[in-house]
A and B are shown apart, each in its own frame.
Chain A
């Protein structure tokens, strides 16, 4: 088996940060000292102190609590959006790659069209027209990123489809659906996990950008993008309002990406070891 101890320190740090953030998000109601939306008009724009770990914003809300609740919003939405994209992209990719023929041509045409739409522009347009809501955001993210997924999945499926054991199982009477679920899916699982992980990171950034523009999560929701937008006006005198949410987005995204890298290394090592025994 692979020795976890051999992994570079940076991956362990990333895992640690990720776990920290997840716990912050999950246990926010327990850990947060204040209600994130509680306005304290006497304590506005304070710096770090004993009562307010990260200070307060222009409306006197505790930044630390808002960060914790923001983690909830960012992480849960990113996971949901990535899942949607995955389900859509993976199924279309599998169908396209496995069945080939007309269905493949049609789906590939769709993929080409959707890849021709510049991502952020489309997301802005969709969120702008439909108004910012969870549904419109999910739609925006899914529509702009499923095609990339689908393309990669299709490539993997094409490789596996030609293997001999698929032919063997089919001659034993297995239905296409059975083959897809029990043979194709497990073999592309590793790549899917990596894609999923990286996608979560991308979604976090996209949603933060949209929220910053006012097209994503709406104030007074304690989303990190929204917090940065709020801090925008005050950064000249109170830069600390800016630092906390930005660093959190950076830390979350970076640790997710590093974990993705670690997984890539892990799977390729396993593959190499397996190959030697052939």
Chain B
């Protein structure tokens, strides 16, 4: 039995008053354990939704079909009580936006060890020392003081690191980090990417990194999955994808970066209530052909990578 996470035919939709939002469409994916997998895509690509769905953290108006298998158990079939044994302890989710992810009326320390105290039934003193140790591991220079501080007393970068400290407090087997570098300046982004890199080196945790920060992905990820409008367009080893992107969308993403050609992608991501027919990317694709507008391509294996494009069919 391996520690991979398998997504089989996962579809996620949200019922809203304006219509049904199809966030994720029939996705099949494997997250390999022992690796850092990066999920990249624009806003609305479904990457955060997918990340949250593993632990069923989505809102009440969501509907998930398919299976998410971990160690031969379908996570989508577990009861809330059973799932709570996995959340934070075996699979951990680090939410985005450190400014609002913390309870403003509770100290950082208490929040970091909250799951630790609950799951492992440790004593309060043991918890506190573990929490301070965590803060030390995440380069906090005054761990005792920071432990007793409130979120508003920490800087943005410190809060992000505290979030990571919280997510790893129980040494989980899997860590899903949602946009850990969003809104942070370059130096702090460096810090945070180092944190994840070290995590991979020093612990046994496997990591899923959800982000639109391509530099971060290029720097530390082993595998990359490219998501667009809830569909996987390309998937494969990070080095290959960045050196030689196959899908037009991936090329566009990479070329849009400031240190590359700074060429923005034309058009806008589609309305998730009224998705286009055929290939979901075709309205913005410069290489589009007739068939692209009619039928959606399947994932093709090209040189050890998976691409969903008629160009390679």
A residues engaging B (CB < 8 A)? 269, 272-273, 276-277
A117 to B125, CA, bound (A): 51
How does the 8 Å CB contact mask read for B1-28 relative to A, with 1 for contact and 0 for none?
Answer: 0000000000000001111000000000
Cβ-defined contact, A269 with B18, below 8 A: no
Instruction: State whether B17 touches A277 (Cβ < 8 A).
Output: no
Q: How far is the CB of B272 from chain A (nearest CB, A)?
A: 12
Closest to A275 in B: B18
Top 7 closest A-B pairs, CB basis? A276-B18, A272-B17, A273-B17, A276-B17, A273-B18, A276-B16, A269-B17
Nearest-neighbour CB distance to chain B for A129, whole angstroms, equals: 47
Closest to A272 in B: B17
Instruction: For residue A181, give the distance in angstroms from its CB to the closest CB of chain B.
Output: 32
Within 8 A of A (CB), among B150-185: none
Closest CB-CB distance, B310 to chain A, in whole Å?
Answer: 33
Number of interface residues of B (CB under 8 A): 4
The CA-CA distance from A272 to B16 in the complex, in Å, is: 9
Closest to B19 in A: A276
Min C-beta distance of B37 to chain A, whole Å: 33
Q: Report which residue of A269, A272, A276 has the largest number of chain B beta carbons within 10 angstroms of its beta carbon.
A: A276
List, sorted by A's number, 10 A–B pairs whose CB atoms are closer than 8 Å: A269-B17, A272-B17, A272-B18, A273-B17, A273-B18, A276-B16, A276-B17, A276-B18, A276-B19, A277-B18
Closest A residue by C-beta to B21? A276
By a CB distance below 8 angstroms, the chain B residues around A269 are 17
Least CB distance, B270 to chain A, in whole angstroms: 15
Distance of A272 Cα from B18 Cα, bound (Å):
8
| Alpha-carbon separation in the docked complex, A273 to B18 (Å) | 6
CB distance from A49 to the nearest CB of B (A): 54
- Report the minimal beta-carbon distance from A7 to chain B, rounded to whole angstroms: 15
A272 cross-chain contacts in B, Cβ below 8 A: 17-18
Q: How far is the CB of A242 from chain B (nearest CB, A)?
A: 46
Docked CA distance A154–B19 (Å)? 35
> Smallest CB–CB gap between B13 and chain A, Å?
15
Q: Give B273's nearest chain A residue, CB to CB.
A: A276
Q: What residues of chain A lie closer than 8 Å to B18, measured between beta carbons?
A: 272-273, 276-277
Closest to B17 in A: A272
Which residues in A have their C-beta under 8 angstroms from that of B17? Answer: 269, 272-273, 276
A264 to chain B, nearest CB (A): 16
A277: nearest residue on chain B (CB-CB)? B18
Q: What chain B residues lie within 8 Å of A277 (beta carbons)?
A: 18
Shortest CB–CB separation between residue A276 and chain B, in angstroms? 3
Query: CA of A273 to CA of B17 in the docked complex: distance in angstroms?
Result: 6
Chain B residue at minimal CB-CB distance from A270: B17
Distance in angstroms between the alpha carbons of A179 and B19 in the assembled complex: 35
